[in-house]
Structure 1
Amino acid sequence: MKNFTLRWAFLLMAASPLTLVAQTPEPATSTQTPKGGLFGGSQQFRTFSIGVNGGVLIPAVATGGSNDFTKWQLNYGYGAYVKWQLLHFLALRGDFVGGKLKGDNSEKLGNGQNPNRAVESFETSLNWSGSLNAVFNLATINWLHRQSAAQLYVSVGGGLAGYKPTITTASGTRDYKSSGSINEFFVPVGAGVKFKLSDFLNLDLGYTMHYLDGDNLDGFNYGSSKDKYAYGYAGLEFALGDRTKPQLAWHNAPAVMYDDLVAQKDQLKLELDAEKENNAKLAASVAKLQADSDGDGVSDLFDKCPNTPATDKVDGAGCPLPKDTVPPAPVKVIITEDDRRLVRDAIANLEFATGKSDILPKSFASLDRVADLMIRKNLSLKLAGHTDNVGTEANNMRLSKNRAESVKSYLTAKGVNPSRIEATGYGELQPIATNKTAAGRQQNRRVEFTIF
């Protein structure tokens, strides 16, 4: 048949873009529709689905071409498929289609190619057909609403069909081949539109043209042309897997990115508002702290004597100081001979571990008496550490300093104010006896106490 009219097929395809616009819903909230992330991988989506469909089979295709009968007839068809979504726009689909195909020579005018019309009609049982197809999503995103509600797709693949033609002639009806079904390779090329009914259910409308590698479909072989047939269908597609995950085919990555940016913007706005509020509180606190109404140099927050004249000198509380105050005479500290003897005893009894700054326990009693004296009379003490010349000068300097500091630490632990003790080390620089004898070296290893 040349230039035949495929009214049903074209009507189905023409209705697709209109339906795409008419069925676009308002965007769903994030609590209504599960969303996948941008870079989390396919494991966060449902990628497998199954579909069932039913429709019409016709022994002709929308692209035209030659056919062996003047009129084709609509007949039922049915199918099913399993689909694996590899990417947002690409899937592999295994299809099965079955049904019946019919045609006759009842049209007087047309593009049929049977000149003698010896074969009056045919009926072919499409027992089965199986194919593997690549499915490409052409449009899945509605940029106005950021919600994927419908998608256009095309498919192409290859498969094998098993069918059995029966032909009717003037002499009666007979099988085209008595040997059984005919198996032939075919190439399916299709297009369709899919609508998202829910997170796990889709409505699928499609049209597929099947190009056979032979001229046996209608039971009549005329010339070198090859038979073709088309399947127009409507069906349902069911997404498999965890329902909390979205379907990969419907995933709208720009919408997810937009929502994420909006959420981040809202969070940043909250944080910025909180920082502004904190800064306002801080500015108010600083202003309150800096306020000095009477100009006396003391903040109003701490000023216990407000409205003090600017010429008056004030204390830390903002209150005027007495104008004719005479400072009290300092108390004179008298150091007695008993005090000096007590210190000398401490010096005489002070011993350290050999080569170390650890004070031996036998020195504690005399040091305790020095601590008591300093606390009672509020005395100050200068400690000077010395060593003999055994060892390096640097080590001796360090050892003398550490021993003086050990005495200071002991007295401080007994309650003496550390600010009243000065500890200095002189090493071997100030001997009081010769270092050539053991007795002289022993005298040089000392800590001198000077009270005042």
Structure 2
Amino acid sequence: MNLRKTGLLAAAGILSATQLVAQTPTVNEVKPFAPETEYRTWSVGAHIGLLNQSNLIGLRRRFDKVEHNFGYGLYVKRQILPGFGVQAEYLGGKVAGAYEDNNNTFETKMPWSLALSANVTLANINWRHHQGIIKPYLNVGIGALGFEPTAEINGSSTTYEQTTELFVPGGVGLKFAVTNDIAIDLGYRLNLVQSANFDGVSTGGSKDIFSYTHLGVEFALGDKRKPFLGNSNPVSGMQKEYQAHYDEILAQKAALEAQKAENEKLQAQVERLFADLADDDGDGVANRYDKCPDTPEKTKVDGTGCPLPEPKAPVVQKIVVTDEDRRVVDEAIQNLEFDLGKATIRPTSHVSLNKVAALLIEKNFSLKLAGHTDNTGSMQTNMRLSKERAEAVKAYLVSKGANQSRIEATGYGPTQPIATNNTAAGRQENRRVEFTLY
């Protein structure tokens, strides 16, 4: 692959990286210093770049004209700490160079190299998020490489057999976190070969150096529900946890203050309620509603707290039954007649009963009516007939205006005779309705 194609490829890769970095990575939350089992620790990466003999630290190179050639590599990394990991890496390609003032050139094919390196993350830099997006790193290790140099010196070309030598890779780079699973890797590495014949010219005895500038991508392996340990920033995590704890304390304090204010409000309401319910004179009416606040103890009061008026003694009306009153009643008794075997009052009795009704109305007397019969007939018939006759007299008096509630009617049948039932005259006396005023 020529330099022009390599440059286009690198530019396309850098543009893609820039677009991906613009995205914000999704980060799963893990408490600071959580055990390793809470993270993903394995990742794989691939990169392409430019191989040449130039370097950024000013070390001497034998061929002073720089030529760029395509390089490629793969690696597997085990993240041990958030800022430290170990990776095994493969690198292949070719390195070439020439002299500025003559036609002497070299080209070294490098079909393979294997190295074990320590990767140290210097910082997780981010100005907006707790999780780092830009992560500068250092890389240093040791490995072995196989190379086949061809040198053309003064018109004579010499190709050497493939040689295996140790080399020491070391470099710097930036990783851009695209998501929690993917990072773009932009790096520069110097490789110190433990041989002076890497460029096909062994004169001078100094060890050869070549550099590799690369752009790649790294993928975290494992359960996607867990964050990648290489993206973790314990200091930022502690800050975030502290901030969350501090915010929780502030929220609790605010809640306590709100509760305190509410309690004070309730306390004021209770105090007002107690003030409203206070009863200084002990009369059972709260001060708020007590219109007579100085009522003496044990005084009976009304709903406004004022003394109730002294109850007046009931007026007892003395009822006096005069001889004239008794005469009116006796006359009614003497003149009271019923149809034979019935409770129908004969009209001849109405005049004397009217006088009794007028007496009850005038003097508000109470009257007890007691009906009686002789022993002629059955007990059941006589009891019924005596009751009906007393009720008939009551009904008549009520019809004339007497107070129904003051008249009592009772039937006794033949149980209270006043004469013998063995003669007609005695039985006539026993058939009666007695009037008792009171």
TM-score (norm 2): 0.58
CA contact 2:151–2:200 (8 Å) conserved in 1 = yes
Q: Given the alignment of the two structures, is residue 101 of structure 1 paired with residue 95 of structure 2, yes or no?
A: yes
Map 1:368-447; keep pairs closer than 5 Å. none
Shift of 1:147: 4.2
| CA–CA separation in structure 1 for the residues paired with 2:281 and 2:234 | 62
Write the distance in 2 (CA, Å) between the matches of 1:270 and 1:243. Answer: 33
Q: Could you tell me how far apart the structure 2 residues matched to 1:27 and 1:278 are?
A: 41
Q: Is residue 2:263 matched to residue 1:310?
A: no
User: How many residues are aligned here?
Assistant: 291
C-alpha distance in structure 2 between counterparts of 1:203 and 1:57, whole Å: 19
- In 1, are the aligned partners of 2:117 and 2:142 still within 8 Å (CA)? yes
**Alignment partners' CA distance in 1, 2:20 and 2:209:** 33
Aligned ranges for residues 288-327 of structure 1 at < 5 Å?
A: 288-291=269-272, 292-293=275-276, 296-297=279-280, 303=286, 306-312=289-295
Q: Deviations over 1:320-360 (max 9, x none)?
A: 597999xxxxxxxxxxxxxxxxxxxxxxxxxxxxxxxxxxx
* 305-314 vs 148-157, greater mean Cα deviation: 305-314
Compute the RMSD of aligned alpha carbons: 3.8
For 1:120, the equivalent position in structure 2 comes to 104
> Is the partner of 2:242 in helix, strand or coil?
helix
Paired letter, 1:184: E
Matched letter for residue 199 of structure 2: D
Amino acid at match of 1:176: Y
Contact 1:66 1:225 in 2 (8 A): no
Task: Indicate which of 132, 136, 146 corresponds to 2:116.
Answer: 132
Name the amino acid aligned to 2:293. A
State the Cα distance separating 1:101 from its structure 2 match. 1.0
Q: Does 1:155 align with 2:149?
A: no
2:203 matched to which residue of 1? 222
Change (3 A) 1:85 1:284: same
Query: Equivalent residue for 1:54?
Result: 48
Cα distance in 2 for residues equivalent to 1:260 and 1:296: 58
> Which of 39, 57, 61 in structure 2 is aligned with 1:67?
61
Counterpart residue number, 2:75: 81
Separation of aligned partners in 2, 1:207 and 1:298: 98
- 197-206 or 144-153, which deviates more: 144-153
Deviation at 1:253, TM superposition (A): 2.7
Contact 2:280 2:287 in 1 (8 A): no
What SS does the aligned partner of 2:216 have? strand
Matches within 5 A, 1:348-363: none
Distance 1:314 1:149 in 2: 86
Contact 2:281 2:293 in 1 (8 A): no
Name the structure 2 match of 1:261. 242
Give the equivalent residue in structure 1 for 2:406: none
> What is the TM-score when the length of structure 1 is the normalising length?
0.56
Give % identity.
Answer: 29
Q: 1:240 to 1:220 in 2, by over 3 A?
A: same
1:249 aligns with 2:230: yes
Alignment match, 2:85: 91
Matched, 1:280 2:261: yes
Deviation of 1:132 (Å): 0.9
What amino acid maps onto 1:135 in structure 2?
A: N
Distance in 2, matches of 1:138 and 1:78, equals 25
Q: Distance in 1 between matches of 2:136 and 2:115?
A: 20
5 Å-filtered alignment, 1:27-38, equals 32-38=26-32
AA at the equivalent of 2:289: P
Change (3 A) 1:287 1:68: closer
2:379 paired residue number: none
* Separation in 1, partners of 2:206, 2:39: 45
**Runs of 5+ in structure 1 lacking a partner?**
1-7, 109-116, 326-452
| Letter in structure 2 aligned against 1:168 | E
Unaligned runs of 5+ in 2: 1-5, 311-438
By how many angstroms is 1:303 displaced?
4.2
* Structure 1 residue matching 2:94: 3-state secondary structure: strand
1:199 aligns with 2:183: no
Decide whether aligned partners of structure 1 residues 298 and 49 sit closer, same or farther in structure 2, where only a CA change above 3 A counts. farther
Contact 2:21 2:176 in 1 (8 A): no
CA distance in 2, matches of 1:311, 1:25: 85
Structure 1 distance, partners of 2:281, 2:263, is: 20
Give the superposition deviation at 1:64: 3.1
Give 1:156's aligned amino acid: V
Matched residue SS, 1:261: helix
- Pair 1:264–1:69, CA change in 2 (3 A): closer
Deviations 1:250-283 (A, max 9, x none): 2133433333334334433443444344333433
Where 1:285 maps in the other structure, the secondary structure is helix
Q: Which has the larger radius of gyration?
A: 2
Q: For residues 133 and 216 of structure 1, what CA distance do their matches in structure 2 show?
A: 24
Does residue 1:185 correspond to 2:146, yes or no?
no
Task: Give the residue type in structure 2 aligned to 1:238.
Answer: F
Counterpart contact for 2:79–2:230, Cα < 8 Å:
yes
**Which string of whole-angstrom CA distances, capped at 9 and with x for unpartnered residues, describes residues 349-394 of structure 1?**
xxxxxxxxxxxxxxxxxxxxxxxxxxxxxxxxxxxxxxxxxxxxxx
Residue 131 of structure 1: how far off its partner (Å): 0.9
Moved over 4 A (4+): 22-28, 169-172, 302-305, 317-325
SS at match of 1:81: strand
The 2-side partners of 1:169 and 1:94 are apart by 37
**1:82 and 1:284, CA in 2 relative to 1: closer, same or farther beyond 3 A?**
same
User: Quick one: structure 1 residues 24 and 100, their matched pair in 2 at CA, closer, same or farther if it must change by over 3 Å?
Assistant: closer
Cα 1:294–1:165, aligned 2, differ >3 Å: closer, same or farther?
closer
C-alpha distance in structure 2 between counterparts of 1:280 and 1:204, whole Å: 57
